[in-house]
Chain A
Amino acid sequence: MQPLSNIDSLLHFSPEILLVIFAAAVIILDLIVKDDESVAVAYLSLVGLGCVCAAVLIIHFSFRNPVSLFEGMIRLDEFSTFFKILLLFATAATILFSLRSEELDERLKGEYYALLLAITLGMFLMASATNLLMIFIALETVSLTSYILAGFLTHSPRSSEAAFKYITYGAVASGTMLFGLSLLFGMAGTGDLTQIGGQLTEHLASGAVAPLAVLIAITFVLAGVGYKIASVPFHMWSPDVYEGAPIPITAFLSVASKSAGFALFIRFFYTGFGATGLMEAVDWPLMLAIVSALTMTVGNLAALPQQNVKRLLAYSSIAHGGYLLMGGVLLTSEGIEAILFYLIVYLFMNLGAFYVVVLVANEMGSETIEGYRGLGSRAPLIAIAMVIFLASLTGIPPFAGFFGKWLLFTAVLEQGYYWLAFVGLLNSVVSLYYYARIFKAMYFEDADEETDRVAFSTGTFALLSVFVIPTIFIGFLNIFYTFSNVSVSVLPMQ
């Protein structure tokens, strides 16, 4: 397949171009409208996302075959389309959350939405980059934008602290990753992911390259990717950042940023290093398995004593990164398929849980577990929704989270990594304990003072049902399995 030239690529690149146009338009509109009408800016960005989504779909259906764009810098295929749609949904949800979140009220300015559109652009590139250089640029676009978004509550010291920690960790991780990328480039003599694996296998066989050097380079790259998906030992930033950042941004980071990180992870390892010869020379599947086991265990154990729901969900999100990594350990197509399916499910259940956190923070003014006391009788529907999200996160049937975990564990067991499956399953049991603390607060305890039932608008319930219904039904429907299956089958593997 011949990569398209720069000019020919532009048409295929129209979703990304549209994102840039709308980001600029949002800033301009913000200058025009009055302060109290800034909602219009939000709607414009939603319209923008809609247009981008339409563009993605039109391009997907008009040019079915995978194509390489910009002389092999990025690749357009079902896999990237899958992630683009996922990311667009997450961004749209984040904008809607932001509209309803009271902590953001004052600062809902154009640049907030422009930044969200910009970060989406970066994630699009992360999902489609096939060149080491492009990978780094995409990652940096996303990172730099998220630093600003995490520190968006300028009046809150916690938010600034979050941004500062995020930058410090991010800088180190990016630097390490860049070093790893340069090592790879030096050893393989090419930056093209589709060729790197073959070149390295050749050089390893001829003895020109030491296996240890490849392992070191991969480990360094993993630092950058691991930082994005918050895997141990690069997870330390995430609880503080998740706690300090505005809730919609926390939701966004925990879902979109993680998904994009996995897109990059899969593309990088599956396309670049899926070659079996390479796997025999360098035992990095074991390394990934250990990272995965540690990530879920650390995430779950650290979540146990948390009192702040946001922080609790942050740790739970680390743990989910660990579950997701399980599917990637041996880079089989079943495993990748499981990751993609789980990401769909995770998108709905985790965003849903964060939406409830936004609503509770608005109404009760609290992010702690105590703030959820008596929610079962004060806001029954919200509480039921939360139960569904958390039960799904635990992996209890009939909710979608169970089907996702089932796919992941099947993929792991199929490869004979029994110990990893056991660690994962025991972690599910542990996770029940801290999710159940929220159940307990909502249903088994009464609120401190007598409070009336809280009324929510129809819009709130409508948005909530956008997350509840998929969380209940995704597992029952064939189409989502096919969707993730098709997205994997197009990935080239050497």
Chain B
Amino acid sequence: MLLSLMIFIPLLGMIAVLLLPRESEELIKRVTLIFTLIPLALAVVLFISYDRSTAGTQYVVNVPWIDAFNIQYHIGIDGLSVTLLLLTALLGPICVIASWRNIEKGIKAYMALFLLLETGMLGFFAALDLFLFYVFFELTLLPMYFLIGIWGGPRREYAAIKFFLYTLFGSVLMLVAMIAVYLNSNIVNGVAEGLRTFDIPTLIALASTEGHALANLDFQIWVFLGFFIGFAVKVPIFPFHTWLPDAHVEAPTAISVILAGILLKMGTYGLVRVNMAMFPLGLDHFTNGIGFWGNSLALLGFINIVYGSFCALAQTDFKKLVAYSSIGHMGFVILGLAARNDTGITGAILQMFNHGVISAMLFLLVGVLYDRAHHREINGFGGLGTRMPVYTGITTLAFMASLGLPGLSGFVGEALSLLGAYSEFKWLTILSTIGIVVGAAYFLWTLQRVFLGNLNPKYEDLPEINGREILTLVPLAILTILLGVWPNLAIDMFRESVTNLVNVLQAI
């Protein structure tokens, strides 16, 4: 009940916002803020009351929905989903506050779409029925398209449709795989028995049952690929990443935050929830098999890390730099997952959460600068450190966290991912560390170009970061430091779930 409430409160908020007159902008913003704060409060309650000692799903709701196809409204949380739900619920109000002043037109539609988006994201992380999972996954598409397309930058139309087409392309492949799983879900030893199902826990159990159609290696490889491409577009994994720089650069600040913070995690969460848990044989083929295919997933992680970092190094647009750095950091998640061991998966999941927090900070910071200078050209600034000391301080913290400075959260996730991957893919892991070096290079170089040196006379009167902006950054900064020194706070949440998953994976 608590969980359902959390998912659908933003939807109620959307209806409430739509009923308000469009002129009362302040009221609309406040109502939206309230309707994003409630899920945050609920998420905190869930996070605290979640029983860390078991791997099972909790707060389960399971009611029939479409009887004809045995589709259920089945939701619940485990350690992984509760972590990401908390992240989603936290970024909700932060994004509303970040949009407070700099959305000029159509605030009502903006807030309504934002709330719809939040319902889609929360529902996605809680869904335990594959059909429901897909519906929530797709529910985020339409609002995102309009949020980028209406409130975005100069090339917003191009970016919006590119995002939409790429994601839909991935989704339809996922749909085929999903239907294939459904159609085979009641076939044991070639004979149909009982009802077909979309229920994720049931399917996970069936996929490792001897003689079941779902446990067939070839079948698992194909559906693994179908789901993988769907999620890979979202993560994004090279070569499906090209929508991301466009979408990020054109999207308004708050939407970039959601894109980097949550939408990318939907891809990696899907990989863990579906690809790894449901198709262990397929995963085995791509991470542990013979020859090229056995290294393919790790190779993609490696490419993401190195390619993303080098692309970031070449950027002169601040936002594009952060966007490419996201691609690089998501590579660590892929590498960690490909390792299939406790350390790697823990690192990957931690990296998901940390990247959500850190990239959200980075995009908010870029937004702060853009709102003042109206451009994001890195070489167009210089010496801002003297004009905006507080801003410089927070930015430095975010940069350091992102480049993996020990003591801050970014380090822990990346280190664990690499550590886990090292025992499986020695050379790829060693080569992947190039990404960390390059990451340090572009962040430090940017720091130097924007904040050090002589002050560009144009920006002598640039105002310092204001209270509202600091309010959006402080919770994220606290989390960054907290998880840097006390990563177990998060790891404890999903330790049991990971152990459980690893046991299944290693049993093959």
Binding site for B on A (CB under 8 A): 376-377, 380, 387, 391, 394, 396-398, 402, 406, 409-410, 413-414, 418, 421-422, 425-426, 428-429, 432-433, 436, 439-440, 443-444, 476, 478, 481-482, 485
Contact = CB atoms under 8 A, between A and B. Distances in A.
A478 B68 contact: yes
B165 A439 contact: no
B68 A428 contact: no
B146 A443 contact: yes
B135 A397 contact: yes
Interface string B57-74: 000000001111100000
A413 B164 contact: no
Contacts of B149: 439-440, 443-444
A406 B175 contact: yes
B183 interface: yes
B138 to A, nearest CB: 4
Counting chain A CB atoms within 10 Å of each CB, which of B109, B145, B182 scores highest? B145
11 contacts: A376-B109, A391-B142, A397-B135, A402-B135, A406-B179, A409-B175, A436-B161, A443-B146, A476-B65, A478-B68, A481-B66
Contacts of B150: 376, 443-444
Counting chain B CB atoms within 10 Å of each CB, which of A376, A380, A432 scores highest? A432
B176 A422 contact: yes
Contact of B68 (A377, A396, A414, A481): A481
A410 B135 CA distance: 16
B173 interface: yes
B134 A397 contact: yes
Nearest to B112: A384
A135 B168 CA distance: 41
B493 to A, nearest CB: 30
Contacts of A377: 106
A440 B157 contact: yes
Given A413-B179, A436-B161, A478-B68, 10 more contacts: A406-B179, A414-B183, A422-B176, A428-B168, A444-B157, A444-B160, A476-B65, A478-B66, A481-B68, A481-B69
**Do most interface residues of chain A lie in helix, strand or loop, or is the interface mixed?**
helix
A402 B164 contact: no
B161 A396 contact: no
Nearest to A433: B165
Contacts of B168: 394, 396, 428-429, 432
A454 B169 CA distance: 36
A439 B145 contact: yes
A478 B67 contact: yes
B176 A429 contact: no
A426 B179 contact: no
B340 interface: no
Contacts of A376: 109, 150
A410 B138 contact: no
Nearest to A337: B68
A413 B66 contact: no
B411 to A, nearest CB: 39
Contacts of B319: none
A429 B172 contact: yes
B141 interface: yes
Contacts of B65: 476
A413 B172 CA distance: 13
Contacts of A394: 168
A402 B138 contact: yes
A387 B169 CA distance: 20
Interface string B273-310: 00000000000000000000000000000000000000
Contacts of A476: 65-66
Contacts of A413: 176, 179-180, 183
Given A433-B161, A481-B66, A481-B68, A409 B106 contact: no
Contact of B135 (A398, A409, A414): A398
